[in-house]
Amino acid sequence: MNMEIPDLAEHLLGIDAASPLGRLRRERADILKHEEGAYRELVLPPRPGRVSLAERAALALRGALIEGDAVLAAHYRALLAACGSAEEIAAAEAFPAPAGEGRLAVLFRYADMVAQRPADCGQADIDRLLAMGLTARDIVAVTQLVSFVPYQVRLLAGLRQLRGELQGEAA
């Protein structure tokens, strides 16, 4: 599945690469490279390990909803629709995370805890993920993904603000 977008933030916000904001972003090409690299590795890795692309999209959708960014949530909803199911979309959008030991339920509860109460995360939570068949590498990837989505939300908020300021200067 090729869901790669050259610059996700610019795509989501409709920023033209030749616009003042697009040019400003290219002054720090290293940041763009790392930003897109993190997205590819955490959300769309070529070898996703034991956390499927659909599960990654579901976790990212849930994170975008927790953070309250409708544009980013719509992106992850579309990604999940492309690689998952309507049931997974509904599950990702259900709050609080469901009880039980189903794989998505456990992943969602872990993600919610990492996103909202990271100090509460303990060895029992890690052991539950290991018991589901995740490797230490998979758990690190899930944790990084859960932490990456709030970064994306803040990036988008900052770009929206800059775009508004630059448009105000041009007027």
Q: Which tens digits make up the pLDDT trace of 24-49?
A: 888 988 888 899 999 999 999 999 99
At residue 153 the predicted structure's pLDDT band, cuts being 50, 70 and 90, is very high
Classify residue 68 as left (phi > 0), alpha (psi -120 to 50) or beta: left
Domain 8-162: CATH superfamily, name plus number: AhpD-like (1.20.1290.10)
At residue 1 the predicted structure's pLDDT band, cuts being 50, 70 and 90, is low
pLDDT score, position 136 = 97
pLDDT score, position 112 = 97
pTM recorded for the entire structure: 0.92
Q: Is pLDDT at 144 greater than 60 in this prediction?
A: yes
146 and 138 Cβ atoms separated by less than 8 Å = no
